Structure 1
Amino acid sequence: MQNLMEEANRTVLSGKNDSTAVIRTSHSPVDISPLNLAVAIFVLVSFLVGTLINGLFLWVLGMKMKRTVNTLWFFHLILTYVTSSSYMPFLAVYILLGYRWVFGITMCKAINFFGSLGLFTTVLLLTIISLDRYLLIRHPVWSQCNRTVSRARRVIVGVWLASLTLSAPYLAFRETRVVENGRMVCVNNYALSSDWDDPRMEALRDRIHLTIFLVRFLLAFLIPFCAIMGFYCGMGWEMKRKKLARNRKPIRVLAAAVASFFVCWLPYHLYHASLLFQEAPSSLRLSLRVVFIIIMCFNFWVTPVLYLFVGETFQQVCKTSVLALLKKAFVDVSVVPEDDTSANDEGHPNINQSNL
């Protein structure tokens, strides 16, 4: 939901009539459009289903599995899904009311802050997990000596602190404002000024808006995407060079998490990029907004389900318990050279292996 109401802000600042086709000004609940009703219902259903699924994952990772570096990574990754989903019930009501904010300034700031917190934490964790996998394959001996749960906890604390720092500006920028027909909106006041009509303040808001967008796009999308792709290429090269055989399940789980994140968040960044250009058609903004809301809701509950199905046939999933599937998905598994994959005469694997 973070910056979802940005288009309302642009309507106030620009005064153009084309945005009113996107943001409804009616106060009557009977004027709820079929599209708004359908999207709001989908958001609420996704929230309920996603909360149930992610709660199950957190319970298994936190209570039923041995605490390892791998389970610690994914416990906090799932936790970020829950954190960032806190906005969904408010988003559903906001859409039903014709994009009118009724929850006050405190919730306006808090919800957007937690949405940003979930975004940055998720992408930073995915980058850290990918780096961890690469180092484990590239430097297995070093990783075995230094890859500990206590150090992983410190890294996770650093990730949360970095995300808190990057999300803090929304506690200052976000505010509520009464606009046309007494409608309340929750918008970003980038200039931190109550003078909305001053051309100098409007120009300042536009410059800061562009800066915030670029920082968010670079740090929460483009740079992590390039880094993760580099780690994957490095993993593939090292596995081929060292002729490593491995359990493919954890690698596929990570690949599913990374792919779903970037596919789901691309429309989000495209939508906010369109808000930077006044000449962008309102129909395009409406389409991008609906697409990114729906895809983000899918990301909340579909991505954890992928952890169960990726690398498994449907028949295997039906015959295996959820707990067993989760343990198989998140457990640390071994990577061994292809020449050493055979077991010895007593049925024990060879010892020159490293955990993945």
Structure 2
Amino acid sequence: MPIPNMYSNYSGLSITEETLQDARSSPPNGSSDQMSPSPCPLLYSDYQFTLIPVLYCVIFILGLAGNSVVVAVLCRHHGPKTVANIYIFNLAVADLLCLATLPLWAAYYAYGYNWIFGSVMCKISSSVLCLNMFASIFFITCMSLDRYRAIVHPIRFQRRTLQQASLITFLVWGLACLSSLPTFYFRDTYFIESLGVNACIMAFPYEKYANWSAGTAFMKNALGFLIPLTVIATCYMCIWMHLLKAREFRKNKPKRDKVLRLVVAVVVAFLICWLPFHVLTFMDALVRMRLINNCDITTLIDTTLPFGICMGFANSCINPLLYCFIGHQFQEKLRHLFKLRVYQFNSTRQSSSSRKGSYPKDAETPRDGEKERLNCKPTL
């Protein structure tokens, strides 16, 4: 089905420059934006409007389950707080807030890029999504730095305090809010008469649309990928070299190999999830600036970008596995919480059964089958 060229600023899909030029009134004095890319006729398959919502729903369910368990375990933990737990908790919260908007964007795809939730929800959900994309990546970077200090500089590591971690957490959320301000300011709904849809778009000023579009894309590339990737890769490369040289880890090869595999898994997961989206976002910015005029490349970008966004969302499902469930301490906390819930469940059932058995003898006596069921209370 023919659909005009569309692109993404991560927080939902937006109609492109050339579509807005057709839908809005012509610029004053017949002038045109010198940075506007040449329109390319593109064909979109219907599978995007069915497959993408399904993928979003799967990611939503898996990510919601994993991150909810992380939050529950850390909230129920009665031991002393640690810096790592503060970062993990905030990472899980950021992922949950990010995932909470997925049903809205799934509906956006399912209705053919028609936003049905109103202008306010368009602005709020886009801003929340963008904010928590940055917050999630920033907290992954903080955890990489914290792990580097713990392994490579254990003496300095002991000097860290919870107050420092709380301050860093506050700064991370503040930086994420600042990074999402363009989305909060410009994102709004706009009715595209030629398409018959009420699109949730980045309504940049018409005269500077391409400049704003490219600028926000480059900001996402730098703050959301290049700088964090440089920090994460540097930290884990230093950890790798330190573990290979450390005498205690050379003696315990299985333990060393386990840590090294975790190091590789963290970097590879980050690359696999975020590299496609940021490469496509960068290429789309080049199209906005007319540095790429090939319609085949433009078609490829617009066709694959929705799946690049899905892979970025999938990182919210992988984070609990990488940073929590494979950790020995977190597994112990999870088992403790599970045993506590089972104990409370059994205690409730036993007290309920005791109350039933404490009736006077002249009361109604259970039949033999009912006595057998009382004696066979379920235990987990």
TM-score (norm 2): 0.69
Which stretch has the larger CA shift, 149-158 or 131-140? 131-140
1:128 matched residue in structure 2: 142
1:154 partner amino acid: L
Aligned length: 300
Distance 1:50 1:283 in 2: 31
1:70 matched residue in structure 2: 84
Which stretch has the larger CA shift, 243-252 or 43-52? 243-252
2:280 partner amino acid: Y
Given the alignment of the two structures, is residue 227 of structure 1 paired with residue 227 of structure 2, yes or no? no
- What secondary structure does 2:137 align onto? helix
Pairwise CA RMSD of aligned residues? 3.1
- Higher-Rg structure is 2
Displacement, 1:154? Answer: 1.3
Displacement, 1:242? Answer: 3.9
Displacement, 1:93? Answer: 0.6
- What secondary structure does 2:199 align onto? strand
Given the alignment of the two structures, is residue 184 of structure 1 paired with residue 198 of structure 2, yes or no? yes
Q: Is the 8 A contact 2:48 2:109 kept in 1?
A: no
1:237 matched residue in structure 2: 241
1:110 corresponds to which of 124, 140, 147: 124
1:288 corresponds to which of 304, 310, 314: 304
1:349 matched residue in structure 2: none
Q: Deviations over 1:241-282 (max 9, x none)?
A: 442438566775565444323321222223323433163435
1:209 corresponds to which of 199, 207, 213: 213
Distance 1:122 1:223 in 2: 14
2:161 corresponds to which of 119, 140, 148: 148
Which stretch has the larger CA shift, 79-88 or 236-245? 236-245
Which stretch has the larger CA shift, 117-126 or 130-139? 130-139
TM-score (norm 1): 0.74
Displacement, 1:58? Answer: 0.9
- What secondary structure does 2:101 align onto? helix
Q: Is the 8 A contact 1:9 1:188 kept in 2?
A: no
2:377 matched residue in structure 1: none
- What secondary structure does 2:112 align onto? coil
Q: Deviations over 1:5-64 (max 9, x none)?
A: 234455223787745634x9xxxxxxxx34412321231232123212211111012213
Given the alignment of the two structures, is residue 323 of structure 1 paired with residue 334 of structure 2, yes or no? yes
Distance 1:251 1:110 in 2: 40
Displacement, 1:326? Answer: 10
Distance 1:3 1:52 in 2: 22
Against the structure 1 CA distance between its residues 261 and 110, is the aligned structure 2 distance closer, same or farther, given a 3 Å change threshold? farther
Distance 1:234 1:308 in 2: 22
Against the structure 1 CA distance between its residues 51 and 19, is the aligned structure 2 distance closer, same or farther, given a 3 Å change threshold? farther
Against the structure 1 CA distance between its residues 293 and 160, is the aligned structure 2 distance closer, same or farther, given a 3 Å change threshold? same
- What secondary structure does 1:187 align onto? strand
2:62 corresponds to which of 44, 49, 58: 49
Q: Is the 8 A contact 2:137 2:224 kept in 1?
A: yes
Against the structure 1 CA distance between its residues 152 and 254, is the aligned structure 2 distance closer, same or farther, given a 3 Å change threshold? farther
